[in-house]
Amino acid sequence: MKAINKINILQKIIKDHILNKNTIGFIPTMGALHKGHLSLIQKAKHENDIVVVSIFVNPKQFNKQEDLDRYPHTLEQDKALIQDYANYVFCPDVDEMYPTGFQSTIHIGDLANILEGEHRPGHFDGMATVVLKLLHLCQPTRIYMGLKDYQQCLIVEQMVKDLDIPTKVVGVPTVREDSLLALSSRNLLLLPKDKKPAAQIFVALLKAQELILGGERDARIVERTIKAELEHISKKIDYVAVRSLSLETIPTIDQDVVILVALYLGGVRLIDNIIVRL
């Protein structure tokens, strides 16, 4: 695996691979890599000639400076984890990605203003800006994204469609700890006493799935049921939402749905979701 931190070097390497008609699998990350990221990289390795992983903690998608400051930085461990699976790791610094005078930003529409977007204004514009830049740099055949960040996946799919980017977005199922807690870089910030309650998030989602498959069709009843479960573990719940797979609000569950939650435990914000197919 070759480590690259300069854009012009990455562009030359990518150009050579495109001339050789190699397919490129790309995984954008912010580091603090775990088995969930590894599942994306392994899938990309299986489906493409070369694999490029980016590691860049993007300041434009953080709403609060303290959140950016707290974000884990484990670059050397990250490189060791993926060295047998990726061909290239692109790990630029902030000045490389956003040099003096950088002004352009991608603005996402309505899809970015709900759920995560409502509670983290500007987050998805910052995410889309860096992902679009990375897509231009890597020109991948496929980009691999974890479905734990369900809304993010939909937004990248929409952006790729709207801007005619010749890249396929591949959503990969969430990888979980034995406790059922969704793997996340933010888990590193959890205190030991919060790990067990955090695992109850997905337990609540499984109960909601059971409720729906048992015949409940009122989306608001399902939401209230999950919220009541989660209030036992968290004093701050940002949202509990039953939505269509395109994230539209639905009063009646008459189609496949995704149930999404976001809450805080010990000051750490966690998100999770489950797709329920009728």
pLDDT digits (tens, 9 = 90+) for 159-188: 999 999 999 999 999 999 999 999 999 999
**Nearest 5°: CA angle at 247, between 259 and 261?**
30
**Residue limits of CATH 3.40.50.620 in the chain:** 2-172
Show Cβ contacts of residue 42 under 8 Å, excluding neighbours closer than 6 positions. Answer: 85
Residues facing residue 88 across a β-bridge: 2, 52
The pLDDT confidence band at residue 74, using thresholds 50, 70 and 90, is very high
CA 197/CA 63 separation, integer angstroms: 26
What is the amino acid identity at position 89? V
Asked whether the CA dihedral 165, 170, 171, 172 is positive or negative, the reply is: negative
Cβ atoms of 27 and 54 within 8 Å: the answer is yes
* Rounded Cα gap, residues 52 and 2, in angstroms: 10
Distance in angstroms (rounded) separating the CA atoms of residues 104 and 126: 10
Stretch(es) of the chain classified as CATH 3.30.1300.10: 185-276
Name the strand (E) or helix (H) holding 70. Answer: helix 65-70
Catalytic residue among 17, 34, 37, 123: 37
SS3 (DSSP) at 260: strand
**Cβ atoms of residues 10 and 138 within 8 Å:** yes
100 has a pLDDT exceeding 90:
yes
User: Which pLDDT band, with edges at 50, 70 and 90, does 238 fall under?
Assistant: very high
Average pLDDT over residues 222-246: 97
- Supply angle C-alpha 137, 143, 184, rounded to 5: 110
Per-residue buried b or exposed e for 13-25, using 16+ beta carbons within 10 Å of the residue's own CB: bbeebeeeeeebb
Q: What is the mean pLDDT of the chain?
A: 97
Assigned CATH for 185-276: 3.30.1300.10
> Sorting pLDDT into bands at 50, 70 and 90, what band is 64?
confident
CB 243 within 8 A of CB 257: yes
pLDDT confidence bin for 206, thresholds 50/70/90: very high
Does residue 37 have an active-site annotation?
A: yes
* 144-155 b/e (C-beta count within 10 Å ≥ 16 → b): bbbbbbbbbbbb
Mean pLDDT computed over 81-103: 97
Which of 71, 78, 89, 75 minimizes the C-alpha distance to 13? 89
Residue 63 pLDDT > 90, yes or no? no
The C-alpha atoms of residue 86 and residue 88 are separated, in whole angstroms, by 6
CATH architecture designation of domain 2-172: 3-Layer(aba) Sandwich (3.40)
